[in-house]
Amino acid sequence: MLSHSCYSQDHIDARRAAVDDRVAAWRRLSAAVGDHAALGEFEPVFFTDLVLVLEGCFVHRGRDVEGEDGNALTEVRVLAASLRSGGRVLADRELRYHPGHSVLGHHVGDEIVLREADFVALAKAFFAELEARYL
């Protein structure tokens, strides 16, 4: 598959809406569930998996456009690859990931566990960076 050097605003907006719908569904579920312990156990599973959804929506984005400055696009790419390989942040020689420049601040070797606030911040930064670089 060829990489994408641009996306239409409609495509980005549709993917953002799909992600927002999932976050809204989580909020409805959390408001309705009485067993807060079970919900607390499910929250990191749900939001960590949403990183894979976010990456999957734009998996073929061109790395030359994405840049190597440790932005949110790179962070999502690194987190998704790490999640597919066991759930701890992996070092990647091809990607420059800098915890100090990242949204979530994960270091190599950290377990990847996201809560709602983590994912919402990451998704917001991801879409902003996507629009800045790929429109």
Q: How confident is the model at residue 94 (pLDDT cuts 50, 70, 90)?
A: confident
Report the pLDDT value the prediction gives residue 1, as an integer from 0 to 100. Answer: 62
Give me the mean pLDDT over the 89-93 stretch. 88
pLDDT tens per residue across span 15-58: 999 999 999 999 999 999 878 898 999 999 999 999 999 999 99
CB 70 within 8 A of CB 105: no
115 in Cβ contact with 43 (< 8 Å)? yes
Q: What does the pLDDT read at residue 36? A: 85
Q: Mean pLDDT across the stretch 94-116?
A: 92
Give per-residue pLDDT as tens, 59-85: 999 888 988 778 999 999 999 999 999
Indicate the domain borders of the chain: 9-134
The helix-helix angle for 36-57 and 116-134 (nearest 10°) equals 10
